[in-house]
Amino acid sequence: MVPAEPIVDIRGLRKRFGSNEVLRGIDLAVAPGEVVAIIGRSGSGKSTLLRCINGLESPDAGTLAIEGRPMRLDDPRAMRDLRQRVGMIFQSFNLFPHLDVGHNIMLAPGLVKGRRGAQGEARARQLLARVGLDDKFEAMPAQLSGGQQQRVAIARALAMEPQVLLCDEITSALDPELVAEVLAVVEMLASEGMTLLMVTHEMRFARKVADRVVFMHEGAIHETGPASELFTRPQTTELRQFLAALD
Amino acid sequence: MVEFTLWDILRNLLLAARWTVALSLIAFVAGGALGLLLVLARTLPAGAVGRWAGRCVALHVEVFQGTPLLMQLFLAYFGLALLGLEVSAWLAAALALTLHASAFLAEIWRGCIEAVPRGQWDAAASLALTRSEQLRRVIAPQALRIAIAPTVGFLVQVIKGTALASVIGFIELAKAGTMITNATFRPFAVYACVAAIYFAMCYPVSAFSRRLERRLNGAR
Ligand SMILES: Nc1ncnc2c1ncn2[C@@H]1O[C@H](COP(=O)(O)OP(=O)(O)OP(=O)(O)O)[C@@H](O)[C@H]1O
Ligand SMILES: [Mg+2]
């Protein structure tokens, strides 16, 4: 793939927590509409990488640009702008438990984009329908299954109309029978051209949906390539060991 | 010698109880407002300012949690006099109780804010909410729910704690009880009335909190 203008452009990204160097110089350019699966062992820095991309963590070195615009962590207006373009979905859903499903979705567009009232509600209902939960507008998060909660979280992220979605192990907290309904929504987004960076342990899904797989090892990108090649012909022992340990 | 009826005793105690109520209200409202400022200062993002604010608040909390309320009352009364400020027992008691309450409430509320899972901040931030929107719209409503029981518990402590203000000569319910006992020589009747009045003030407060908590939890 020849990335025209990368939508996410990461260069020399470093991050340490105290003496623990978690990211040791990450270079990654993601093209618009590309689906990138990030795999790697626990503690290899996958979550930290994603969290740097929308500024939940502040990098110690390196540059990061979204749609050609460099990230400015110290500029609240720039960050507000960036986070509208980069959405995130978490392993633990993180729905707001004090708000019903509809208000979970409408809160941020109302505050950030001034989209309130009937217009905001219509949009929220439309998004709920897209994730197959039309009838849950008034439900409280605690009344939903994990799979339904995660689909609401996806609808909530989509309500900001992001160009890029960061997904951090979004099916890892789900019972096995609920994984498929969430992955189906992600696959739909991928087919519609959403740029996706997803940390995942679902290798079959990565193989099916990802344009590119990135294997992280000890804070660096150890190996990367198209899913078909990476899984069938891993070049490094670390990746071979990682894949072998999976099955 | 004048004969005191039970009604005389009760009436005089109730008159003094007004001061207990007033002192409790001031301590709670002013202490709550100050406590809120303190807890907000403590949730400032970790920068140079945030760190310093956090340290000052922590010190304030340590000092007022680590010393007896009795000493705080003495220090407010006699300490301010030493500085040349002539303060009434009333003002000194209000000041000491306000500072005392602010420290405890700040600490209680900080705990409640920290009890809200980290992921709630992350989710709110990733939806482009500003720091203050995250706090007001996502974190505070959840922290509030957790805060009701300990806050009301502390309010009851404050009501009872006002009795200590008698040591600096402030005439509230407990002090009035002692004075009336000295005049009537009926300590049991007097102190039974005093206890009943304290109970009558504290019980509705806890009952209200239980109802409020049930309602909020029911609305999930
Ligand atoms: N806020 C933090 N403070 C200190 N250390 C952290 C913090 N966040 C992550 N770390 C450390 O950074 C390292 C990488 O963490 P990260 O969560 O990025 O790994 P991961 O690849 O996502 O792992 P997993 O598969 O378990 O989610 C770990 O050693 C972790 O302990
Ligand atoms: Mg992780």
Domain boundaries, chain B: 6-219
* Chain B residues close to A87, C-beta within 8 Å: 126-127
A195 is a domain residue: yes
Instruction: Check pocket membership of A48 for ligand 1, CB cut-off 6 A.
Output: yes
CATH label of the domain that carries residue A44? 3.40.50.300
**Residues A55, A75: Cα–Cα separation, whole Å:** 11
The conformation of residue B79, written as its DSSP 8-state character, comes to I
Determine the residue of chain A that is closest to B138 in CA distance. Answer: A96
Q: Which CATH superfamily is domain B6-219 in?
A: MetI-like (1.10.3720.10)
Question: What's the pLDDT tens digit per position in B120-170?
Answer: 999 999 999 999 999 999 999 999 999 999 999 999 999 999 999 998 888
Nearest CA to ligand 1 atom 12: A22
Whole-number pLDDT of residue A239? 94
Quote the pTM value. Answer: 0.90
Whole-number pLDDT of residue A99? 96
Whole-number pLDDT of residue B45? 75
A3 is a domain residue: no
Closest Cβ opposite residue A107 in set B122, B130, B137: B137
**In sequence order, which ranges of chain A are alpha helices (DSSP H)?**
46-53, 76-85, 101-112, 117-130, 146-158, 176-191, 203-209, 227-232, 237-246
Instruction: Check pocket membership of A106 for ligand 1, CB cut-off 6 A.
Output: no
Question: What's the pLDDT tens digit per position in A50-60?
Answer: 999 999 999 99
Start-to-end CA span in chain B (Å):
63
Per-residue pLDDT of chain B (220 residues; tens, 9 = 90+): 567 788 889 999 999 999 999 999 999 999 999 999 999 998 877 777 888 888 999 999 999 999 999 999 999 999 888 888 888 999 999 999 999 999 999 999 999 999 999 999 999 999 999 999 999 999 999 999 999 999 999 999 999 999 999 988 888 999 999 999 999 989 999 999 999 999 999 999 989 888 888 887 765 4
**Residues B107, A186: Cα–Cα separation, whole Å:** 43
Q: Which two tokens stand for residue A69?
A: 């615009």
Q: What are the residues whose beta carbons fall under 8 Å from the beta carbon of A10, sequence distance 6 or more?
A: A26, A27, A28, A29, A52, A53, A62, A63, A64
pLDDT < 70: residue spans in chain A: 1-4, 247
- Best of B118, B121, B127 to disrupt the A interface by mutation (most A CBs within 10 Å)? B127
Instruction: Check pocket membership of A47 for ligand 1, CB cut-off 6 A.
Output: yes
ipTM value greater than 0.85: yes
CB contact under 8 A, A157 and B138: no
**Residues B37, B113: Cα–Cα separation, whole Å:** 14
Helix (H) or strand (E) holding A89: strand A86-89
**Residues A50, A167: Cα–Cα separation, whole Å:** 8
Instruction: Check pocket membership of A226 for ligand 1, CB cut-off 6 A.
Output: no
Q: Which residue has the tokens 């005089």?
A: B12
**Is A136 an interface residue toward B (CB < 8 Å)?**
no
**Is B145 an interface residue toward A (CB < 8 Å)?**
yes
Q: What is the extent of the structural domain holding A124?
A: 8-246
Closest CA to A34 of A71, A65, A2: A2
**Residues A124, A113: Cα–Cα separation, whole Å:** 14
CB contact under 8 A, A94 and B120: yes
Whole-number pLDDT of residue B219? 54
**Is A115 an interface residue toward B (CB < 8 Å)?**
no
